[in-house]
Structure 1
Amino acid sequence: MNANMYLLLEKGFEEAKPVIAALKEKGMSAIGAAGYCWSRIVVVELAKAHEIQAAVVLHPGPITVDDIKEVKCPISILGAEIDHVSPPELIKQFEQVLSANSGVAHFVKIFPGVAHGWSVRYSHDDAAAVASAEEEMVDTIDWFNKNLK
């Protein structure tokens, strides 16, 4: 990742914190965040800093096993079978790390037959693509319903 991208993502993390604080001031006690591709960096950073109570990352961009080791809230990681950015092997490593940390609830799933970005970039004429995107949305909503009480 180049330095400019890192600065933008760091800025996103910093700009999210006052939004979260404002939500808490309004009485929200449980806040979740979802990140697709590059925005997942912001979500993982929020999860590492314990700023949120639940996280979902979808077809994640370049996060590391070390990032996942530092997550402090329930996290769902939804990956694609065909993904050069976060291949299934890496997603499985994330699951191993999370499974070793019994203090962090997690759900990890690799969607078969789909490529990076499948849940937001798909043809509405492709029934299988639509079904995968809808399944992702159900999984995301279920995760938040389960972990944001």
Structure 2
Amino acid sequence: MSHPQCCENPPTLDPNSGSGHVEKLGGLDSYVVGSPDSKLGILLVSHVFGYETPNLRKLADKVANSGFYVVVPDFFHGDPYNPENQDRPLLVWIKDHEPDKGFEESKPVIEALKSKGITAIGAAGFCWGAKVAVELAKQELVQAVVLLHPSRVTVDDIKGVEVPISILGAEFDQVSPPELVKQFEEILASKPEVKRFVKIFPRVKHGWTVRYNPSDPSEAEAAEEAHEDMLEWLIHYVK
């Protein structure tokens, strides 16, 4: 997690972005969007820059348009990573925001979704959030997961996955390089009972799905392709 690729190209946060709203869910401020009558919930777990990332909220809106009730919790309690704070480098910040803590805090969020009448839940995690999502997959707390340019996800994590999993990696990723993603694929291939989809996107870097420049056609197109793959997986297995 200490790799500079996790900190490159930080997004400009906007608490007013997206077409949804913020409410407390499971004790956490959460960006919420979608029909409250939906029986299908999706938990999006952010990268280190947090739940006010406009590209992430835009993606949440898109997932909601497919019929899901989508929640993006603030697992950092108003304290996303700020690369401009030289006194608090990523390794220091992460001690206050370990993914294990995020995983524990995701449980009340899932319970809150169930209390709203939601009967099937999927999760997608971006960078930092992928570690939270893979823990949910290991403990079968969700129906399916998608890991996008994961960070800190290990071979042992993938061995423990018990639900359908999609892993979307980048060609230029020093955090989870293609070699590691291919290892993940080999492990999943040895577990035929677990549905899998693994893809390495060419010519993109770690973080491309939520830190792309919308005005750069090639970046936006690569991000869009990943979003479509993610959505297709969730539609197929969260029902």
TM-score, normalising length: structure 2: 0.59
Residue 213 of structure 2 aligns to which amino acid in structure 1?
A: S
Q: CA deviation at 1:4?
A: 7.2
User: What's 1:93 paired with?
Assistant: 183
Question: Is 110-119 or 123-132 further displaced after alignment?
Answer: 123-132
Q: How does 1:92-111 map to 2 (within 5 A)?
A: 92-111=182-201
With over 3 angstroms needed to count, the CA separation of the structure-2 counterparts of 1:4 and 1:98, relative to structure 1, is same
Which one has the largest radius of gyration?
A: 2
Matched residue, 1:5: 94
Alpha-carbon RMSD across the aligned residues, in angstroms, is: 1.6
* Separation (CA, whole Å) in 2 of partners of 1:4 and 1:71: 28
Select which of 126, 143, 153 maps to 1:53: 143
Indicate whether 1:20 and 2:110 are aligned.
yes
Q: Does 2:30 match 1:30? A: no
SS of the residue corresponding to residue 66 of structure 1 reads helix
Distance 2:171 2:125 in 1: 18
Map residues 66-77 of structure 1 onto 2, 5 A cutoff.
66-77=156-167
- Taking every aligned residue pair, what percent have the same amino acid on both sides? 56
Q: Which ranges in structure 1 are unaligned for 5 or more consecutive residues?
A: none
What is the aligned residue count?
A: 149
What residue is the counterpart of 2:49 in the other structure? none
Q: Does the residue aligned with 2:146 lie in a helix, a strand or coil?
A: strand
CA 4–51 in structure 1, closer or farther in 2 if over 3 Å, else same: farther
Aligned to 2:64: none
Letter of the 2:122 partner, please give it.
Answer: G
Q: Which protein is richer in helix relative to its size?
A: 1
String of CA shifts for 1:106-143, please: whole Å, max 9, x gaps. 11000000010111112223211110011111111100
Please give the per-residue CA displacement for 1:11-42, whole angstroms capped at 9, x wherever unaligned.
21111111112222333221011100011111
Moved >6 Å (runs of 4+): none
Alignment gaps of 5+ in structure 2 = 2-90
Q: Secondary structure at the match of 2:120?
A: coil
